[in-house]
Amino acid sequence: GKTIINIFFEASTRTRTSFEIAGKRLSADTVNISASTSAVVKGETLEDTAKNLEAMHPDIIVMRHGHSGAPHYLAERCGFSVVNAGDGAHEHPSQALLDLMTIRQEKGTISGLTVAIVGDIAHSRVARSNIYALKKMGATVRLAGPRTLLPTEIERLGAEVYTDMNAALDGADVVMMLRIQQERQGKALLPSNREYSRFYGLNPDNLKR
């Protein structure tokens, strides 16, 4: 009997479809809104969009947005519940929950494991949510990537930071590979994809570590 509105301001296949199917399986009425077909293209602000949706009395809004903090901004100003389906390069909580569930299914536990996350850490919302969640569940987190793709002061989140991928993989229980988020990079941060793959690509040899 609940009404869930999925509103996505960025392209999505897996996340939007997963939320839609989950809502339907729980007998909720689900409505999908794409920013490209909404009043946003006519200049409507995020807050105006939220107020219009609030007038329709939804129970939950599932939102993906390109700006960090947009779901929090919405939740503070409206009376419905807001689920963050990814906000800019900030966080992606539902993906982290899925990753932790997968690790637990395969390993039986999360506490005590060493998890290596490799790739474009600086622009990955998935990485940030996973760092918080894995640390909360008692795992050791290692981050590996070229310096240009490692955010400054990332150590403050409690993760170990490496620029040598092999060192990060040595003794790791789980390896999580991140794609290069070229759409979020304001300039070229790598000499070439081939060179990146040479140093940070996963192959049978370094996987044995």
Catalytic residue positions? 14-15, 42, 64, 92
Q: How many CA atoms lie within 13 A of 86 on its CB side?
A: 23
- Burial string for 166-192 (b: 16+ CB within 10 Å, else e) reads eebbeebbbbbebebbeeebeeebbee
Q: Which two tokens stand for residue 98?
A: 């899925």
What's the Cα-to-Cα distance from 40 to each of 50, 68, 144, rounded to whole Å? 11, 18, 38
Per DSSP, the three-state class of 17 is: helix
